[in-house]
Amino acid sequence: MNNVQLVFVNSFKYLGVIIDNKFKFTQHSAYIIEKAKKLFYKLLLYTRPTWGVHSDNIRTIYEQVIIPIISYATNIWSNSLKYKFITKKFLSLQRLFAIKIVHGFRTLSTVTSISLAQLIPLPDKIKSIATIESSKLLGLSPFLPSDIPLEKFAPPSSLLHPSLRTPITFTEINSVEEFDSFAGKYMHHIFTDGSKHDGAVGAAFVVYDPCKIHVTKKFKLHPSCSVYQAEMLAIQKACEWITSKAQKARSYVICSDSKSSLQELSNPYSYNSFAVNIFKLIHTIGLSNISVGFAWVRAHIGIAGNETADIAAKSAAVLHKPPDLICAPISHIKLQLRSLTSSAPEQCCRGW
């Protein structure tokens, strides 16, 4: 083109990844290993004149600096670990840090040093990170059937206009007396809760009027779902119930013992799918001039509504019905991978 001869090369670097002509990615693996070693030797310059850095500090540097550098774009090049010489190079690199963590002699073997440092073998760590990243991109998990999707962030197009996003504020309640003085401002009190026990997940909300229990709704979730999903689903379903019954009351308060869920809702820019749906419901409710308050109640302090919602959520988990939510969180994959790599390094190193 334009009398410029195209030169063919055996490899080139693109967005930080060295791509070779056979897509083995062995050159990239060797490159990041050398890069990590240079950082290690620079670390030695600061530790040699003294008795050395504390083991916890070395571990922090390894986990927070070295691992992110190595694991960049792992879902692209992790197949290079099928070559034994690449695996040995990564283990040799990890051995350097393991010896520093345990303050061991240079003659300490790879297996012994990694075992004493209680580190996950680096090849297994890389494969785990690659699996997580691939699952996020593809929406599929090797630990779940293909018909069970992974939870994804809501697309930007589904969010409310920024001018319509109102952050949710919540009141913290730590005693029955505080609840009694706070709840009197609202006509209906809605308590939400989620539960996960022995692989069964459930969510529920209970509506109290000033005198008695008005309604109880239970929802079953897929066993792969998390307690956080159950808590968020309960709040979302409570908002949907308010939308359908809004003409009967003008004020509601939603009480939850999940502070993480309420903190997520306090962020108007959240891309969490549950939070986006709840924001839309709250906006719809607000158009009807109905006030909805939120409160965090400390669990198991004697508030009757919270205890009732807790019992309802536990019973919802064992209902004999199809799940109301089939959507596995990414934390499920991380848990499965952690269980696979939590065995002793000696067991993982039998093939080295």
Give domain status of residue 63, yes or no: yes
| Residues 87 and 17 placed together within one structural domain of the fold | yes
| Residues 235 and 139 placed together within one structural domain of the fold | no
Give domain status of residue 2, yes or no: no
Residues 6 or more apart whose CB falls under 8 angstroms from that of 144 comprise 150, 224, 328, 332
Lowest mean pLDDT among 49-63, 149-163, 203-217: 49-63
pLDDT-derived band at 344 (thresholds 50, 70, 90) equals very low
| Residues 166 and 299 placed together within one structural domain of the fold | yes
Looking at the chain, the whole-number percentage of residues with pLDDT higher than 70 is: 93
| Residues 166 and 141 placed together within one structural domain of the fold | no
Whether residue 336 is predicted with pLDDT greater than 80 in this model: the reply is: yes
So what's the pLDDT on residue 248?
A: 66
Give domain status of residue 218, yes or no: yes
What mean pLDDT value characterizes the chain? 89
Whether residue 274 is predicted with pLDDT greater than 90 in this model: the reply is: yes
pLDDT tens, residue by residue, 6-58: 888 999 999 999 999 999 999 999 999 999 999 998 887 776 655 567 888 88
Q: How many domains does the chain have?
A: 2
CATH number of 215's domain: 3.30.420.10
Domain that holds residue 188: 156-327
Q: Are 125 and 83 in contact (CB under 8 A)?
A: no
| Residues 134 and 114 placed together within one structural domain of the fold | yes
| Residues 163 and 130 placed together within one structural domain of the fold | no
| Residues 45 and 73 placed together within one structural domain of the fold | yes
pLDDT tens, residue by residue, 79-107: 999 999 999 999 999 999 999 999 888 89
Q: Are 230 and 197 in contact (CB under 8 A)?
A: no
Question: Could you give the residue ranges of the DSSP H alpha helices within the chain?
Answer: 26-47, 55-61, 67-70, 74-77, 84-102, 110-117, 122-138, 176-183, 227-245, 259-265, 273-286, 304-317, 330-341, 345-348
Give domain status of residue 260, yes or no: yes
Whether residue 210 is predicted with pLDDT greater than 70 in this model: the reply is: no
C-alpha 294/C-alpha 204 separation (Å) is: 16
| Residues 128 and 258 placed together within one structural domain of the fold | no
So what's the pLDDT on residue 63?
A: 94
| Residues 168 and 136 placed together within one structural domain of the fold | no
**Which has the closest alpha carbon to 201: 59, 321, 342, 33?**
321
Q: How many CB atoms lie within 10 A of CB 26?
A: 19
Give domain status of residue 195, yes or no: yes
| Residues 311 and 239 placed together within one structural domain of the fold | yes
Whether residue 349 is predicted with pLDDT greater than 60 in this model: the reply is: no
- Could you give the C-alpha distances from 294 to 34, 173, 192, in angstroms and in order? 53, 11, 11
| Residues 263 and 142 placed together within one structural domain of the fold | no
| Residues 249 and 341 placed together within one structural domain of the fold | no
Give domain status of residue 332, yes or no: no
Whether residue 350 is predicted with pLDDT greater than 80 in this model: the reply is: no
Whether residue 174 is predicted with pLDDT greater than 60 in this model: the reply is: yes
Residue 4 burial by Cβ neighbours in a 10 Å radius (0-12, 13-18, 19+): exposed
So what's the pLDDT on residue 351?
A: 53
pLDDT-derived band at 220 (thresholds 50, 70, 90) equals very high
